[in-house]
């Protein structure tokens, strides 16, 4: 009876400590812009030009996206020491049409799933099978695909069941990944091989293009991928300081970019995405900025600088754009994602 009383006393004291700690710490972790217009969000370009991009928030944890666990679930997570819900080194990011954000976390060896519609958070991984996950995409059947650079493999899981299983193995170093709804293929950059490989949803290879080099259609350690509404494939070719564009069948179309530290040039191109107007967004991890180009490779806008404030970055790595042209950027060494909106002009 004495042992039981001591155990109960320890448990209750532990609960008080956890609740006090959570009450102190959680508000500090939140980095979403305050509601009610207390703080004006940054916009780009600055006035007097019409704003095209507006900062809408940032998130390091589910609470920053107004996703909170139930009372007992929250207590259990803290008692068990479950700290997986905080972002550590976000890289690949994907946002779908159901208000879900997938963020790959190589340091924690898993994928964070923020379901804003259902107000639920999940961490996929946590002990296996991922070794060094990098990129993520999703098809229209709610199946996510994740590249694992260290395993030389691609894994997949249904967003309802969230159990990763092997999809493709035997690659040298897979990094970027994108699903093309036009032809139902999943494209993967095999960085060390200097190739892009396309697979059907059964994991069968359908096409392969590229080789190591600096000529048209050749790559020097290609990384990230994007697809536009026409099904064209965009590849970041960072050591050649350029972006290359291909048909869905892998036919070379064009390229733009060259090395430099001024706007319109690239230091180290990483994440890439294309919005509904065909504007191409490229993360430049070396100079902590995002650059926006048209299909001809002409610079339209650049935003971002080094720092930890609104629209400031410390190695932006991944970028995604949803169906409403909202923008999600993995701000890797600030341990967060930043959310921005696109302003349509009449």
| Average pLDDT along the chain | 87
Q: Average pLDDT, stretch 294-300? A: 97
Distance CA 16, CA 219 (A): 57
Q: What is the pLDDT of residue 47?
A: 83
Q: Where are the domains of the chain?
A: 2-342
Give 108-127 pLDDT, tens digit per residue. 999 999 999 999 999 999 77
Better pLDDT: 6 or 227? 227
User: For position 17, what pLDDT does the model report?
Assistant: 32
H or E element that contains 105:
strand 100-105
- Angle at the Cα of 176 from the Cα atoms of 170 and 178, rounded to 5 degrees: 105
- Work out the angle at residue 128's Cα, subtended by the Cα atoms of residues 99 and 83, and round it to the nearest 5 degrees: 60
* % of the chain with per-residue pLDDT over 70: 84
Question: Angle at the Cα of 185 (from 198 to 315), degrees rounded to 5?
Answer: 70
Count other Cβ atoms within 10 Å, centred on residue 55: 21
What integer pLDDT is reported at residue 337 of this predicted model?
98
Q: From the DSSP assignment, how many helices (H) and strands (E) are in the chain?
A: 2, 27
Q: What is the pTM (predicted TM-score) of this model?
A: 0.86
What are phi and psi for residue 208, nearest 5 degrees? -155, 135
Going by pLDDT thresholds of 50, 70 and 90, the confidence category of residue 276 is very high
Using one digit for the tens of pLDDT, what is the confidence trace for 27-45?
Answer: 323 333 333 444 578 999 9
d(CA 164, CA 279): 33
Nearest to 168 by CA among 191, 186, 193: 186
Which DSSP state fits 266? B
CATH code that applies to domain 2-342 = 2.120.10.30
Token representation of residue 312: 């400031």
Query: Measured between alpha carbons, how far is 188 from 172 in angstroms, rounded to an integer?
Result: 11
pLDDT of residue 344: 82
User: CA–CA separation, 87 vs 269, rounded Å?
Assistant: 22
Find the mean pLDDT for residues 56-62: 97
User: Band of the pLDDT at 319, cuts 50, 70, 90?
Assistant: very high
| Range in 153-167, 214-228, 332-346 with the lowest mean pLDDT | 332-346
When pLDDT is averaged across residues 69-83 and rounded to a whole number, the result is 50
Q: Is 202 exposed, middle or buried, given 0-12, 13-18 or 19+ CB atoms closer than 10 A? A: exposed
């Amino acid at each position: 009876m004495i042992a039981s009383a001591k155990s109960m006393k320890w448990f209750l004291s532990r609960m008080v400590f956890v609740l006090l700690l959570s009450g102190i710490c959680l508000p500090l972790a939140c980095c979403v812009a305050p509601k009610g217009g207390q703080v004006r969000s940054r916009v780009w370009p600055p006035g007097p030009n019409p704003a095209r991009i507006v900062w809408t928030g940032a998130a390091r944890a589910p609470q920053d996206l107004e996703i909170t666990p139930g009372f007992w679930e929250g207590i259990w997570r803290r008692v068990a020491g479950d700290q997986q819900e905080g972002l550590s080194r976000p890289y690949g990011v994907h946002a779908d049409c159901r208000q879900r954000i997938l963020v790959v976390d190589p340091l924690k060896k898993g994928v964070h799933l923020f379901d804003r519609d259902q107000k639920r958070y999940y961490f996929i991984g946590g002990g296996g099978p991922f070794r060094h996950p990098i990129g993520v995409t999703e098809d229209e059947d709610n199946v996510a695909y994740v590249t694992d650079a260290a395993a030389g493999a691609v894994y997949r899981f249904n967003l309802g069941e969230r159990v990763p299983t092997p999809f493709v193995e035997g690659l040298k170093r897979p990094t970027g990944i994108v699903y093309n709804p036009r032809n139902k293929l999943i494209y993967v950059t095999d960085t060390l091989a200097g190739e892009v490989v396309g697979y059907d949803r059964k994991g069968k290879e359908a096409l392969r293009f590229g080789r190591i080099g600096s000529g048209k259609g050749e790559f020097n350690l290609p990384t990230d991928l994007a697809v536009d509404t026409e099904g064209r494939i965009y590849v970041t070719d960072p050591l050649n300081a350029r972006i290359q564009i291909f048909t869905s069948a892998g036919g070379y179309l064009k390229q733009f970019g060259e090395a430099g530290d001024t706007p319109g040039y690239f230091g180290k191109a990483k994440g890439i995405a294309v919005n509904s107007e065909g504007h191409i967004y490229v993360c430049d991890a070396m100079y902590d900025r995002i650059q926006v180009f048209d299909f001809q490779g002409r610079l339209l806008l650049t935003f971002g600088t080094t720092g930890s404030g609104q629209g400031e970055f410390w190695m932006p790595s991944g970028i995604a754009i949803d169906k409403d042209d909202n923008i999600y950027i993995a701000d890797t060494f600030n341990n967060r994602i930043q959310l921005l909106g696109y302003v349509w002009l009449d």
